Amino acid sequence: MPNDDQTRPLGTQAEGVFASGGPGVRPASIEWTASSAGPRSADFGDIYFAADGLAESRHVFIGGSRIAERIAAGGDIVIAETGFGSGLNFLAAWDAWLSRDMGNCGRLTFVSCEFRPMRKDDLARSHATFPEISALSARLVDAYPALVAGPHDIDLDEGVRLRLIFDEAAAFRFETFTADAWFLDGFAPSRNPEMWRCELLAAVAARSRPGTRAATFTVAGAVRRGLQCVGFDVEKRPGFGQKREMLTATFVGPSRHD
């Protein structure tokens, strides 16, 4: 494994720096049942999203990170996400981007990691209950890369680039971007604590600037304290549906790890 200073800029790939350790990655094991509103991970025993998952993505991540305001301000925007999952948050961000003023010639760059990526057929099936994004889903599925470890840069139309990294979220430490917003998404901390550990949150902070926004569905104390420890001001906000609360955060820096 290389040192932390062996970073790679957006648009580049490097051999042999991936935590997965080889060219192929094991795909997600997805369960589909009549009682399930959407895909369920057999690996982590948790759902990817509820029946109204798109509305939840828009409430928690698009609203919580003030993406519409950032888009309205014009120029480029970089959104980073800790877990790509079904790609629903990316599709929500892409859909929001399409509402921008046509005079805005900026670019949306969306950077996301996924250690257990879905197969293409599962990805398509997971979007089937959201007809309002069916056209975007079809384009994403068509461009979805082979399940090979490492970064995959996917240029979509409307000035949208998806950098999809098939690796653990710890791979962010090899990236050189600075995010305007973070979608802190993954299975619940009780199911997948690795996604919420302090080292990963420190990597999030290192790729943020003062004013960078973050949002997450969980209000777990360890997550809240971890964000505060790495330089974020954290606030509880009304959650979506039956979830009473969610977290939003603003990076004020410097990280207390500095």
Domains of the chain (ranges; CATH) run 30-251 (3.40.50.150)
Torsion of CA 255, 219, 80, 162, to 10 degrees: 170
Task: Output DSSP code: residue 175.
Answer: B
* pLDDT above 60: residue 15: no
Helix 88-97 vs helix 134-143: crossing angle, to nearest 10 = 120
Pick left, alpha or beta for residue 190 (phi over 0 → left; psi -120 to 50 → alpha; otherwise beta): alpha
| Residue of higher predicted confidence among 47 and 225 | 225
- Cα 61 from Cα 192, distance rounded (Å): 20
Question: Where is average pLDDT lowest: 6-15, 39-48, 238-247?
Answer: 6-15
pLDDT tens-digit map of 94-123: 999 998 877 677 899 999 999 999 999 999
**What is the C-alpha to C-alpha distance for residues 180 and 185, in angstroms, rounded to an integer?**
16
pTM of the predicted model as reported, rounded to 2 decimal places: 0.88
pLDDT at 189: 75
Compute the distance between CA of residue 220 and CA of residue 246 in angstroms, rounded to an integer.
9
Bridge-partner residues for 102, per DSSP?
none
pLDDT for 163-198, tens place per residue? Answer: 999 999 989 999 999 999 999 987 677 777 777 888
Give the pLDDT mean for 64-89: 95
**Distance between CA atoms of residues 205 and 182, nearest Å:** 10
* pLDDT at residue 11 tops 60: no
- pLDDT of res. 1: 33
Which residue has better confidence, 32 or 113? 113
Q: Are 94 and 136 in contact (CB under 8 A)?
A: yes
**Is residue 134's pLDDT more than 90?**
yes
Q: What are phi and psi of 254, to 5 degrees?
A: -75, 160
Tens digit of each residue's pLDDT (9 = 90 or more) over 201-219:
999 999 999 999 999 998 9
What mean pLDDT is predicted for residues 215-241?
92
Q: Report, as an integer, the average pLDDT of 133-138.
A: 97
Report the pLDDT value the prediction gives residue 99, as an integer from 0 to 100.
Answer: 87
**pLDDT score recorded for residue 19:** 40
Residue 23, pLDDT > 80, answer: no
**What count of other Cβ atoms lies within 10 Å of the Cβ of residue 201?**
26
Specify which of 34-38, 149-153, 156-160, 220-224 reaches the highest per-range mean pLDDT. Answer: 149-153
Q: What pLDDT is stored for residue 20 in this prediction?
A: 39
